[in-house]
Structure 1
Amino acid sequence: MLFLRTPRVLHSRVATCLLLNRKVPTVAIRCRGYSGRAESAEQLHKVLINSSDESLDRSFNILMSILKEPSLGQNIREIVYHKTPRTDVEYEMGEFQRHLSDQDMQLIQTAVRKAGFRDQKADRVVNMLMQKTASSNQKGTYGPLGYVSNDDIRGVFLAQALAVILISVSPNLVSLAMTRPFDNYFGLWWFPEQWNEDEDVHFPLDKFLRRTNAHPEGKLYLQNLRDVYIINEFPCLMNVHDNYYRTDFMGCLPLFDRLPAIESVGIDLLDVDDNGRQDIEHMTSNISRIRVNHSSLHPVYLARLLYASKVIREFQYTIGGRAPGGHGHQFFTPIPVFKVLCEHKDTLEKLDLDVESHLSIFQSRYDSNIEDHFSEINPEWLADEEEEPHEFQFLTSIWKHEGSLRDFGALRSLSIGIGLLLYYAKGVYVSPDNKRRPFMLVDCLPENLEYLYIRGYERGLNVNWDIQMDHLFAYYKSGNSKLKVLVGIEKMIPNAEDLEEPIRPKSLRWTLEKIGYESDEG
């Protein structure tokens, strides 16, 4: 009872600490007068924002509660923003649909200014916040994919404005899931010299994140953000629901990749957007854990993605679950990704590559020297110096790196196909011999490896593989290694594969709902 007599701000701070340990129910049982406030804190732990009228109202009410009692904002740990721009148009100001007291209006205007918006831009964001519904009587417009209703256009701005201000009043935010907050059909990154941030970035969430990421110092928000997940749902031009989706994933990284606490980024169903950004400067990103799953990407794109990170602790890339679109089946050349990873031998802790069905040579299992087929690959083979000078320059810069799995001293978890496992164990070197010396896998494993998950091995199809797996299994059973888990020798684990369209049955089609995100797909 004495606790209930303490100031409400103390109640919120205690609830915040208890939420991290999931102990609110225990306190509520022992202190019934506290349970209502604890439930409010629990509800604030995760906020969902989209353009439905219900979501707009709920998000606005949460925002007003925090503005009136700022300590409540400390409870928010995760925000999900779910509305993709379908065309790049200006916001049209409208009559206020919310009627607030002068005091509440002052709270809104102050919050908008604290989020970094000034003058006309601040007026626009305030106007967005004062709308209750995405519906309007105004006409829509035609975007690159056809007619876009005004409700759809307007809904993006309203949801983004709420997301911006809620982020700005949530200092303990650690997780952000969002759809791409900008439209990129016309290729923003092809002509960076023509792009003026102050003039051309008018989606409020896009502008807010881009500006904060460029200069995060001194801000009270986004200092604790650790994980970002890009919800990839919008089928761009030439995409259908059975295909991987083209989206500008690399163009999303400058929204958060230099924040002080950022660690990880993830996306699914990704195909490269040819209109999007194709590279980032070397070692400028603070992101150390990258997860790209159920996707279809060129290995050079993946190498560029890794190339931007100062440190890499985890890399996960898996294929499958959709059918390839305009880019077709992507042949996965195994060298570029490994060359970049060799820069991070001392930090990489987890590597998961499920790509073996994109390496047709590894399907020829009767060839005992499969790993030698890549010995002649070089930058000239992957990019034409005259037609693709930028690509050739990048590949040349990473080709100096070399090594084998044995060199990765921090690696503790490895999930990989049998062919790639043996290829990387044998090593990727600057000037490999066509006939490299024989090796045994057990002598080439990382010394601290604890978990090894092998895909695609089936006894009897390749004599060399059988010998290697027999020695590995005996080594594991001997107890002389640090391996705690070894999977894929006694029972074959299939490699993931692209599907053929139309995908039948549809239950085979991987969807965002499988990881807890709703989708706009039909």
Structure 2
Amino acid sequence: MATLPSLPLDIQHHILSYLLSPRDIASLSTQCKTLHRLCDMSTRHTYHSVKIEPSTDSLDTAFNLLMDILRRPVLGRYIRHIEVRAAPPRRVQYTEREPQREIGEGDMRLLRGAVKNAGLGELDLEGQVLNMLLQRMDYGTTYSGSFKMADKVFAPQALGALLVSVSPFLETMAMTPMATHDYTFPFSAPAPKVTYPLDYLLRSVNSNPTKQFPYLQNLRDVYIINNPDGHFEDERFYISMDLFTPISTICNLPSIESVRTDIVEEEENGLRMLQFQSSDITKIAMHHSSISSSYLVSLICSCKTLKDLAYSVGGRATNDGGYPIFNPKTVIRALLYHKSTLEILDLDVESYIYHFDPGVDEADAIEEFDTHEAVDDEGYGRNPPEGFRENKGALRDFSRLKRLSIGVGFLLYFAWGIDVTAADLGIEEGDAKHANTRVNLVTALPPNLEYLCIRGYKKGEVPARDAVIEELVEAVRAGRLKLEVVGVEEMIPNAENVDDPDGNPHLLWKPSGYDSEGYTDYEESGDEE
């Protein structure tokens, strides 16, 4: 029987190309000297991850890597992660000028071919894209500030687009928003049409998910960077970002699974909603952010299938000192579209829902949730999905849910359910209609739940809650319920905004790898070598 080392070299390389995990390739390289040479781990390490940001050194490094790949295309197969940091897109046209890189005719032919292979030649802007690639942001005293502003947008995007196009096994990306929503103030002149290279590349594939492009076929995870230029942002506050526009450029890529971001506050002039069930994204993580329930509902409802949702507030101050409206009833209605697919739910938002405070009358809270539904409908593009208001159900309807992390008030409200009768929950009619603290969690939890994290529960604070929680804990102890429960013996606090960031700087959340320029080091989701 033929062994891998006995096959022709080109066949060996072809087989190896199907191993996407660097750890698997590293293990294979230790089997024998022949496979060690074939795997070429040192070269793979060099090309595994590429970072592009608006600085001369970064652009030079990325350009040199691109030229290496164009001269030896097999190197592009090693790239698994690309990070592109570009300045926030502005509606400014690109102005061509003298190239700052000197390259030979052979390399120029390779660049032209790469631009065409990436589909950028169809823009009728091939010359502009080539000119962007040949800029180094080395201004001296001859270039104006407008050139600098444009280069921070266009040069990283052009390099990012070309590198994506030559990386067939790219799995993860981190990127700042690559285009702006076409918004203009009433009665103002239309914003000029500007084409950004990487945005165009992403949209081209996203709008044709069944077409076999030679790139972006394996991209599964995208982190949207929400701090593109630390010099112009205050680390004490959430940062306004049009999140829906970058999501709309990746939500139908062939292998897309997840999108993640942080410190988001809604952009007033951004895209206000995503189309109902228009996205193939199944996992969403948005941490340390401050958005309204209607904004989150639009994101949830945009997914055809949702398996994993994590949303948390806190760690920054809001720019206006207030809190966005967050209605748990509307969020539950949205989640009910995914009751047969959702496996992980992590909502750390209870500090935004004061109605769950022990001192607030329960009936009044329920009435206010009902009143705010109209506000949420308006936030959802004034046109919620058909049948949205008819969605009803409770926590136990989520048949595949395995892990749940949530505030105690939200948990009990969710367990009671929305628009369900006492009979639906197996509760005697004599019990108060909205007394969610009387619900039996032992029977109200999803059938396949394995892990429950309860936030904000303080034993002895609310006797009715104590009785419900103790009943659950006793069922676990007795073995009647196979479930790991945390947050009962020791309180896990709910995340909160930092209302006085100057007086409490230690409470401010900073991204991992935060440096003097305010950038975030993206944590790769793939295995390390």
TM-score range, shorter chain: 0.7 to 0.9
* Residue matched to 1:46: 49
* Residue matched to 1:135: 139
CA displacement, residues 18-45 of structure 1 (integer Å, 9 cap, x when unaligned): 8532553773695398399321112211
16, 24, 27: which one pairs with 2:26? 24
* Residue matched to 1:459: 459
Q: Is the 8 A contact 1:371 1:419 kept in 2?
A: no
1:77 correspondence with 2:80: yes
Name the CA distance, whole Å, in 1 between partners of 2:186 and 2:82.
Answer: 31
* CA apart distance, 1:377: 3.4
96, 121, 125: which one pairs with 2:125? 121
183, 200, 207: which one pairs with 1:187? 183
Name the CA distance, whole Å, in 1 between partners of 2:460 and 2:297.
Answer: 34
- Judge which range, 494-503 or 374-383, deviates more: 374-383
Q: Is the 8 A contact 2:294 2:376 kept in 1?
A: no
Q: Is the 8 A contact 2:350 2:494 kept in 1?
A: yes
Q: Is the 8 A contact 1:456 1:493 kept in 2?
A: yes
* CA apart distance, 1:126: 1.1
- Judge which range, 55-64 or 266-275, deviates more: 55-64
Matches within 5 A, 1:75-224: 75-85=78-88, 87-118=90-121, 120-135=124-139, 137-141=142-146, 150-183=147-180, 187=183, 200-216=193-209, 217-224=211-218
Matches within 5 A, 1:475-490: 475-483=475-483, 485-490=484-489
398, 409, 418: which one pairs with 2:388? 398
* Residue matched to 2:425: none
* CA apart distance, 1:240: 3.2
CA displacement, residues 126-166 of structure 1 (integer Å, 9 cap, x when unaligned): 1111223353622224xxxxxxxx32421321111110011
Could you list the structure 1 runs, at least 4 aligned residues long, displaced by more than 6 angstroms after superposition: 188-191, 235-239, 430-434, 515-518
Name the CA distance, whole Å, in 2 between partners of 1:134 and 1:431.
Answer: 69
Q: Is the 8 A contact 1:239 1:325 kept in 2?
A: no
Q: Is the 8 A contact 2:313 2:497 kept in 1?
A: yes
Q: 1:511 to 1:15 in 2, by over 3 A?
A: same
Partner SS for 1:290: strand
1:297 correspondence with 2:291: yes
Name the CA distance, whole Å, in 2 between partners of 1:26 and 1:169.
Answer: 25
* Residue matched to 2:354: 360
Name the CA distance, whole Å, in 2 between partners of 1:339 and 1:330.
Answer: 19
Name the CA distance, whole Å, in 2 between partners of 1:202 and 1:100.
Answer: 26
Matches within 5 A, 1:414-433: 414-429=404-419
CA displacement, residues 187-222 of structure 1 (integer Å, 9 cap, x when unaligned): 26999x968xxx723221122212221123221111
Normalising by structure 1, we get a TM-score of: 0.87
- Across the aligned residues of Structure 1 and Structure 2, the Cα RMSD in angstroms comes to 3.3
Gap regions ≥5 residues in structure 1:
142-149
Letter in 2 for 1:288: T
Q: 1:279 to 1:20 in 2, by over 3 A?
A: same
Partner SS for 2:19: helix
Letter in 2 for 1:140: G
Higher relative contact order (CA 8 A, sep 6+): 2
Normalising by structure 2, we get a TM-score of: 0.86
**How high is the sequence identity, in percent, across the aligned residues?**
35
* Residue matched to 2:491: 492
* CA apart distance, 1:502: 3.4
- Judge which range, 84-93 or 35-44, deviates more: 35-44
Letter in 2 for 1:429: D
* CA apart distance, 1:52: 1.5
Q: Is the 8 A contact 1:98 1:131 kept in 2?
A: yes
Partner SS for 1:394: coil
- Judge which range, 433-442 or 46-55, deviates more: 433-442
Partner SS for 2:46: helix
Gap regions ≥5 residues in structure 2:
423-428, 521-529
Residue correspondences, number? 502
Name the CA distance, whole Å, in 2 between partners of 1:239 and 1:98.
Answer: 32
Q: Is the 8 A contact 2:327 2:372 kept in 1?
A: no
Q: Is the 8 A contact 2:257 2:282 kept in 1?
A: yes
* CA apart distance, 1:407: 0.4
